[in-house]
Amino acid sequence: MEARPVQRSGSMVLSNLTRTTTSIPSNPSTGEESFTRSDNTQFISKPLGQQTYHLLSSNNNGAVGHICSSTSSGFSTNLHYSSMASHERHGSSSNDTSWCHDSPHGGFLDFPEASHVEDGGIGSAFDDIQKPNDWHEWADHLITDEDPLLSTSWNDLLLNTSSHSDSKVQIPPQAHQTVQQQPSPSVELRPVGTTSSSSNNGTGKARMRWTPELHEAFVEAVNSLGGSERATPKGVLKIMKVDGLTIYHVKSHLQKYRTARYRPEPSENGSSEKKLTPLEHITSLDLKGGIGITEALRLQMEVQKQLHEQLEIQRNLQLRIEEQGKYLQMMFEKQNSGLEKGTASTSDTSAKSDQEDKKTDDSKELVSEETRNSQEPESSQAKRTKTR
């Protein structure tokens, strides 16, 4: 590994950290996800890729179009900051809680805020898009012995990340690429995210997440322009009138579309397999040659179905496990914070302990609440106010 000047690492880290503070435009909360955020992470100064995912229209679960880009790099750096900071604070609260409080996003553990957990498309605050082109290089940039320096930089940054513009100003332009925010429109009538364009200019592709509905709109537009050969990206874009759809999206999609139309075979993956010598494969694998093609296909289909079914089961289990874990953790932390504040969980207990301290004759009165009514009203009243 090469040695890198600390400064450079610092700026790398800084630019990394900016991503965390990319402003999150307010989302019109439609109860569905309508996050609009695009984030651009280029850790090394190379021609950048701006990774933004627009999910347009709805697929089966009615997800609104959105852009999944993320600040998980931000998330990660928060984590790092937190864990380092907590070391510096000489063992303050556990890492868990320091995450919560230190994150500029108000704590990723604020689930209602950060995660609309439905299937099908949520631009969570913590989606991350970060793209070091080579992790070795990336790791090199980060490796530094100057830990205190690093954490100091991060400290400063995080303290100053109250506003989007602040953080941007701070960032040396070196490795920082654009943050471009685009709305995520919906072909299917869902009002989506806010529109805001960053002042910086991002070249590069924002990745679009297509849906069948959007594609159908695309096909219609193409057909109305005389077919895939005649249609131009510009023309298609104009007809489609979908917010956030750029000419780059359309262009690349059109290219794919043309290829698919004129070579209507299974995708490249399938056809590349065809280049293998078919005979060899047939003789080596009894299963296909011996049982006839239809049966072979049936079998293949059956196996595929099984795999898919198992995958869905597995996925659901995994989701449930995580939910449980999340719930348990929240409960655990609630419990912890309750204990830390020194408050008992029940008012009975506090009343009792107060009473014990006071050593009054009337302490008996509060012990049994059922008899309160029968007590002399004034004295019990006084007692109650004293002991809160």
Partner 1 sequence: MKFGKRIKEQIQESLPEWRDKFLRYKELKNLISSPDPAEFIFIGLLNSEIEKFNAFFVEQEEDFIIHHKVLQYRIQRLVEKYGDNDDETFREEIGEIRKDIVNFHGEMVLLVSYSNINYTGLAKILKKYDRRSGGALRSPFVQKVLHQPFFKTDLVSRLVREWETTIDAVFPASNAEAERGYERSAAVSSAAAGEGIFRNTVAALVTMREMRRGSSTYSALSLPPVNLYDLDLVLQPIHIPSPILS
Query: Is residue 273 a contact point for partner 1 (CB under 8 A)?
Result: yes
How far is the C-alpha of 315 from the C-alpha of 348, rounded, in Å? 45
Closest approach of Cβ 296 to partner 1, in Å? Answer: 7
| 71 class by beta-carbon count within 10 Å (0-12 exposed, 13-18 middle, 19+ buried) | buried
Window of 58-66, 341-349, 350-358, 362-370 that interacts with partner 1 by CB under 8 A: 58-66
Residue 100 neighbours by CB distance under 10 Å: 18
- Per the CB < 8 A criterion, the answer to whether 179 and 198 are in contact is yes
List 113, 322, 369, 376, residue binding partner 1 (CB under 8 A)? 322
Which part of the chain contacts partner 1 (CB under 8 A), choosing from 166-174, 192-200, 215-223, 371-379?
A: 215-223
Q: Does 177 bind partner 1 (CB under 8 A)?
A: no
**Is the CB of residue 41 less than 8 Å from the CB of residue 179?**
no
Helices (H), the chain: 6-18, 72-88, 95-102, 111-114, 135-142, 147-159, 164-170, 212-224, 233-240, 247-262, 268-274, 278-284, 286-289, 293-341, 347-358, 363-367, 377-387
Q: Give the span between the Cα atoms of 353 and 157, in whole angstroms.
A: 46
Largest separation between any pair of C-alpha atoms in the chain: 101
Residues 67-96 that bind partner 1 (CB under 8 A): 68, 70, 72-73, 75-77, 79-80, 83, 94-96
Q: Among 26, 148, 174, 282, which residue interacts with partner 1 (rule: CB under 8 A)?
A: 282
Q: Which is nearer to partner 1, 204 or 383 (CB)?
A: 204
Q: Which of 31, 91, 112, 270 binds partner 1 (CB under 8 A)?
A: 270
Q: By CB under 8 A, name the one of 216, 220, 356, 357 that touches partner 1.
A: 216
What's the closest the beta carbon of residue 172 comes to partner 1, in angstroms? 19
Minimum CB separation of residue 185 from partner 1 in Å reads 17
Among 89, 101, 113, 287, binds partner 1 (CB under 8 A): 287
Instruction: Verify binding: residue 336, partner 1, rule CB under 8 A.
Output: no
Contact between 268 and partner 1 per CB under 8 A: yes
Instruction: Note whether 25 and 181 are within 8 A (CB).
Output: yes
Find the angle CA(299)-CA(301)-CA(305) to the nearest 5 degrees. 120
Q: Which is nearer to partner 1, 199 or 337 (CB)?
A: 337
Q: Is residue 142 at the binding interface for partner 1, with CB under 8 A as the rule?
A: yes
29 binds partner 1 (CB under 8 A): no
3-state secondary structure of 282: helix
